[in-house]
Amino acid sequence: MEANAPIRIGVAGLGTVGTSLVRMVARHGNDLAVRSGRPIVISGVCARDRGKDRDIDVSGMEWFDDPVALARDPGNDIFVELIGGSEGPARASVEAALSTGKHVVTANKALLAEHGNELARLAEGADASLNFEAAAAGGIPIIKTLREALAGNTVSRIYGILNGTSNYILSRMEQDHIGFEECLAEAQRLGYAEADPSFDIGGQDAAHKLALLTSIAFGTEVDGEAIYVEGISSITSADIEAADELGYRIKLLGVACRTDSGIEQRVHPTMVPRSSAIARIDGVTNAVAIEADFVGQLVLSGPGAGGDATASSVMSDIADIARGDRVGTFGRPASDLEPYRRAGMRTHEGGYYVRLSVYDRPGAFAAISQRMADRGISLESIVQRRRAPRAAPGHERPVEPAPVIMITYETTEAEIRAALETIKTDGHIAGEPQMIRIEQFT
C-alpha cells in the first residue's frame, strides 16, 4: 500500500456504534488523515434494513445486504464488524474477512470470548490484524494499555466495573435507598438496561469482557466458559446498608488474578473498601484497574457503552491498522498463548460478608459461631442489626428471625460454603444465607 493511499473501511452494522462511526469519519476526516498518514474512507456499509432513516449520509458508500459479501469485497481493506452475537452473520463475516487476509475491527465481545482463539489463529495465518478495543470496556483504551503500554510488566491482578447497567443499579440503590426492582425499572426507563436485562445484571456481559482482558493480561488462551459468574439480583438494601456501616461498597466486579493453582476468573457482587479507587466509580461509568510488577497500579475509567464512545475505540483500532501498527490479537502470537489453567472457586481465598436471618432463640448464635469455628473461620466483626421485640414478661420470646451480619477473616470458598451449608441444616436460620466476597486492595 502506498503511504498516502486511502485506507478503505467496510462497516457491517449501522446501529448506534455504526452510525457514530460514519459521523466521526465525516466530521474528523481531515484530522484522521493527518494523524494516520493516510485518508480513512468508508467505502461500503451493510445493515439489515436499507430503508431505515439513520440520519447519516451514506452516499458514496456501496450498500451491501449481506455482511459476508461486504467482508469478501475487495473494495475495502478493513472489515468493521458491528453486528453482534457470537454466531450467525457476525461470525461468518469475520471469518470470511480474515480468510481473505483482510484486517478486522470488531466490538463483539461474545464472538471473541467464545471463538477468540480460532479467530486469532486465523488472523495470524492470514497476516491480518484482529483488533477489538471496543469489545472490552466501551471507550476506555484498556486493550491498547494491556497489549502495548504494559509490555514490560507482569500483571498479577486485573479487576473492574465492566457493566454499566449493574453499576448504575447498585449506585442508585446505595445513594437513594431504593430496592433492586425499582432501580432496574428505572434503568430500563432511562435506556441503561435492556428490556431483557438478564445478560447485564446476571454478570454474563462482564464475564465476556473479563475473558478478553484475562487473555491479554496473563498471556493465556481465551476461555469465556471458565469464569465463575454471579449477578446482582440477590443484593438487597440490607446488604448495601450493612456494607456502608462496615466501610465497604458493593460493586459487580470482574476479577482475574494469578494464583498458585492457576488463574482465577470471577464476576460477582463484591465488597470493596470505600476508600479504594474502584469504590468511587458511580453510575454507568466503567473502570478497570491493573496491578503489575513495574507500574504498580493503574486505573482507567470512562464510558463503558454508548455509540459515540464505542466508535472512538473502533477508530483507535482502525487508525492503528492505517498507521501500520500490528499487534497480536491477544498481545502475542496465538501460538505463544499458554493454555488457560483455571483456578476453581473452591480454592478462592478471601474474606466474606455473610448475612443470616437468625431465629432469636437461646443457643442459636453459639451454634452458628461454632459451625464457623469448626471450619477454621475467624470472624472479624459481627453485627446484629436489630432484634425482634421482646415478648411480655412471663411469655416466651417470639421466635422471629433477626438479621445477623458477619465479616470473616481470610478463608477459602470451600470452607465458607461448607460452614453455611451446615448452618442451614441446623435450622437456626430462615431462608438462604447471603454471602458476598470481599476484595482487598493494597
Where in the sequence numbering do the catalytic residues fall?
209
Candidates 88, 125, 324, 398; binder of its own copies (CB under 8 A) is 324
41 touches its own copies by CB under 8 A: no
Please, what is the minimum distance in Å from the beta carbon of residue 147 to its own copies?
A: 8
The residue among 109 and 144 lying less far from its own copies, judged by its C-beta, is: 144
302 touches its own copies by CB under 8 A: yes
Burial group, residue 53, by CB count within 10 angstroms (0-12, 13-18, 19+): exposed
How far from chain centre, in Å, is Cα 99? 29
Question: At residue 411, what are phi and psi to the nearest 5 degrees?
Answer: -150, -165
Ligand-binding annotation for 14, yes or no, is yes
Please, what is the minimum distance in Å from the beta carbon of residue 353 to its own copies?
A: 24
Instruction: Give whole-number Cα distances, 151 to 133, 218, 222, 290, 341, in Å.
Output: 17, 12, 19, 13, 22
- Residue pair 254/281 in contact (Cβ under 8 Å)? The answer is no
Instruction: Choose the binding region for its own copies from 5-13, 100-108, 300-308, 401-409 (rule: CB under 8 A).
Output: 300-308
Binding mask 113-152 for its own copies (x = CB under 8 A): --------------------x-----xxx--xx--xxxxx
Ligand-binding annotation for 16, yes or no, is yes
Residue 363 grid coordinates: 443457643
**CA–CA gap between residue 305 and residue 289 (Å, rounded):** 18
Ligand-binding annotation for 15, yes or no, is yes
280 touches its own copies by CB under 8 A: yes
Instruction: Choose the binding region for its own copies from 239-247, 291-299, 396-404, 419-427 (rule: CB under 8 A).
Output: 291-299
DSSP state of 391: P
Binding mask 64-103 for its own copies (x = CB under 8 A): ----------------------------------------
The residue among 331 and 350 lying less far from its own copies, judged by its C-beta, is: 331
Please, what is the minimum distance in Å from the beta carbon of residue 362 to its own copies?
A: 46
How many residues touch its own copies under the rule CB under 8 A: the total is 60
The residue among 78 and 423 lying less far from its own copies, judged by its C-beta, is: 78
C-alpha torsion angle, residues 186, 187, 190, 192 (rounded to 10): 180
178 touches its own copies by CB under 8 A: no
Residue type, 119: L
155 touches its own copies by CB under 8 A: no
How far from chain centre, in Å, is Cα 263? 17
- Closest-CA residue to 41 (of 11, 12, 15): 11
**CA–CA gap between residue 10 and residue 20 (Å, rounded):** 14
C-alpha torsion angle, residues 51, 312, 164, 225 (rounded to 10): 90
- Residue pair 318/9 in contact (Cβ under 8 Å)? The answer is yes
Name the site residues for its own copies (rule: CB under 8 A): 20, 24, 27-28, 31-32, 34-37, 133, 139-141, 144-145, 148-154, 219, 277, 280, 292-303, 306, 308-309, 311-316, 318-320, 323-328, 331-333, 336
